[in-house]
Amino acid sequence: MPPPATSVREHLLHELGTAFAARLELDELVPLVVRRCPEALDAEGASVLLLDDGGTHLHFPYVAAEAEVAKRLTSLRIPADRGVAGAVLRSGEPLRIDDAPSDPRFNADVDRATGFTTRAIMCVPLRGRSGVLGVLQVVNPRHRAAFDDAELRFLDALAGSVAVALENARLFATVRESASRLHEQVGALRRDVVRLERQSDLLGTAPSLDEVRRLMDSAAASPITVLIEGETGTGKELVARGIHRASARGDHAFVAVNCAALTETLVESELFGHKKGSFTGATQDRAGYFEAAGGGTVFLDEVGELPPVLQAKLLRVLQEGEVVPVGDHRPRKVDVRVIAATNRDLSGASVDGRFRPDLYYRLAGFPIRLPPLRERPGDVRLLAERFLDGAAARHEKRFPGLLPASIDALEAWHWPGNVRELQNEIERAAALARDGDAIAPAHLSRRLLADAAAPAVPAPAAATAGAVAPLRDARLTFEIRYLADALRTFGGNVSQTARALGISRVMLQKKMKQLGLRHEP
C-alpha cells in the first residue's frame, strides 16, 4: 500500500529544507525546488516568478515544463500588476484557481506566447523580510480536474522556505560582491603600502633604481614569471619580496630557495617533495617547496646553478603547473608564481648549452636588471647612513653619524660585494666604535682606507702599476682585521680577547691604540 500523499509531501518538505541549509547558490537551490514541485503535486509544470530591480515587471528565471514552453517562458517579461501572479503580489495571500480561462484575473497573453494551455493554477507569494519577492506557481494537476486546499497549504509552506532561501542567497551574493570589492580595495591599498615600504627598502636616487621600481609595479600587477638579474649583493631577494607583497598573492607564502646552496642529490626532493621510501632517509612523505608555497610565490635565487635534469622539471612546473615528487609517478597540480634570480649571464649560458634555452626564455619573459653599487656612487652615503641607524639599534649604541673622511673612503671603494658588502662594512664599524663616537676611518676596513688613499701615495720604486701591496701594508691590514674580529667575537672584552690570543691585556691595548681600534671600557 503506497504511503499517503501527505506523508510524501512532508518528507519532501523536510528534504528540501535540509537542502536549503546546504546550498547558498541560487543556481543550485531554486531549480531543485522547481523540479520537485511537479513531482510532489503531480502537476504538469511549476515556475518561480521574480520581480525585476524596478519592481514593475515579473520574469521567469526558473521553470519546470516542456523544453519549448520553458524556453519561451524564460524570455518573457510581464507587468507585475497583471494576471494571477499580480493579484497574489498585491494581496500577499495564496490563490487557487480551478478554471483559469474563465477567471478575470487570468492573463491569457502568457499562454498565447508559449502555446501552453493553462487549466488550473496554484499561486503563492514568496514573502521575504523586505516584502514580497515574487511568486511560486504550479499549473495543471494530472489525473484530476483541480488542485485542493491541502495542496495549496503545502505549496504555501514550501514557498516560505524558498523565500528565505532566496533572500539569504541574495544577501550572500551582496556580501560576496562587497567582499570582492573590499578585496580589490585592500589589494590597492596594500600595493600603495608596499610601494612606500619599497621606497625605504630599495633605497637610492639613481635613475636606474627608478626604472627598477617602475618594472616592479608592472610585475606586481601581472602573473608573469620574472627574472631578476644582478651581481651578488645587489638586493635581488628584496626586489622579489617587494613584487610578491604588492601582487594578488601577497597574502600567501613567499618561499625563498637558494639553488646554489642545495646539493645536487637533494635539490629535486627539496623543490618537488618525495614519497616515503623513495631513497635512504625518506622515512615519510614530504611536500616540496612548490607545494609549500601553494597560492604564493617561489623565489629561485641563483637559478643558473640548477643541474640540467632539474632545469627540465622546472620547465614542466612553468608550462603545466604541476610537479612530480621523487618516487612518485603521478603529477600534482601546484598554484605558484615563480620569480627567479641570477648573477650569471643566462642568455650566454643558454647559447653555449650550459642552460636550457627553452627554460631561459620562459624565465626571462619579464627581466629586471639591478644596477651594481659602483654604478650609483651617489647612493653610498644614503645607504651607509640607513645601515648605521639599524646597526646602532642592534648594538644598542648611539652614533652621531659618519665623519666626512669616512664617507670619502666609502664612496671611493668600488664595492665588489655591492649593497650587502656596504651593509657588512657598516655593521663592522658599529661593532668597533664606542657609544657616542662618530664612525671614523679607523673603524673601517683597511682595504677601504688603502683604496681611498691610493691616489695620494706614490707607488714604491720597486713596484709597477697594478703590483701587489708591500708586505708591511699587507701584514698591517691582516693584523687590524684579525684583532677586530677577535674583539667582536668576545663582545669587546679586552681581557678575554687577550687570553684567547695568548698575549697580555697591556700588549693588546697597546696594539689597539697603534692600530686605531677602540673598545668598550
- The residue behind cell 622579489 is 240
pLDDT at position 164, please? 78
Percent of the chain having pLDDT more than 90? Answer: 42
Of residues 66, 96, 103, the one with CA closest to residue 82: 103
The two beta strands, 337-342 and 226-229, are parallel
Is residue 341 a contact partner of residue 227, using CB atoms and an 8 Å limit?
yes
CB-based burial label for 320 (10 Å; 0-12, 13-18, 19+) = exposed
C-alpha to C-alpha distance for 349 and 279, rounded to whole angstroms: 32
The helix-helix angle for 149-201 and 5-22 (nearest 10°) equals 10
380-412: pLDDT as tens digits? 999 999 999 999 999 999 999 999 889 989 998
C-alpha to C-alpha distance for 197 and 217, rounded to whole angstroms: 13
C-alpha to C-alpha distance for 521 and 519, rounded to whole angstroms: 6
C-alpha to C-alpha distance for 218 and 366, rounded to whole angstroms: 10
Least confident of 243-257, 359-373, 456-470: 456-470
Return the bridge partners of 121, or none.
Answer: 97, 139
pLDDT-derived band at 158, boundaries 50, 70, 90: confident
Is residue 334 a contact partner of residue 286, using CB atoms and an 8 Å limit?
no
- The residue behind cell 608550462 is 319
Is residue 419 a contact partner of residue 235, using CB atoms and an 8 Å limit?
yes
CA-based Rg of the chain, rounded to a whole angstrom? 39
pLDDT at position 466, please? 45
C-alpha cell at 516: 686605531
The whole-model pTM stands at 0.53
Q: How far is CA 446 from CA 189, 384, 502, in A?
A: 46, 17, 24
Identify the residue with better confidence: 451 or 395. Answer: 395
Of residues 265, 266, 204, the one with CA closest to residue 238: 204
pLDDT at position 33, please? 80
- The residue behind cell 495564496 is 94
pLDDT at position 456, please? 36
The two beta strands, 332-333 and 322-323, are antiparallel
pLDDT-derived band at 115, boundaries 50, 70, 90: very high
**Which domains does the chain possess?**
5-173 (3.30.450.40), 224-371 (3.40.50.300), 373-459 (1.10.8.60), 469-521 (1.10.10.60)
pLDDT at position 147, please? 93
Return the bridge partners of 255, or none.
Answer: 298
C-alpha to C-alpha distance for 85 and 79, rounded to whole angstroms: 10
C-alpha to C-alpha distance for 346 and 358, rounded to whole angstroms: 12
269-318: pLDDT as tens digits? 888 888 887 777 777 878 888 888 888 999 999 999 888 888 988 998 89
C-alpha to C-alpha distance for 519 and 128, rounded to whole angstroms: 79
pLDDT tops 50 at residue 364: yes
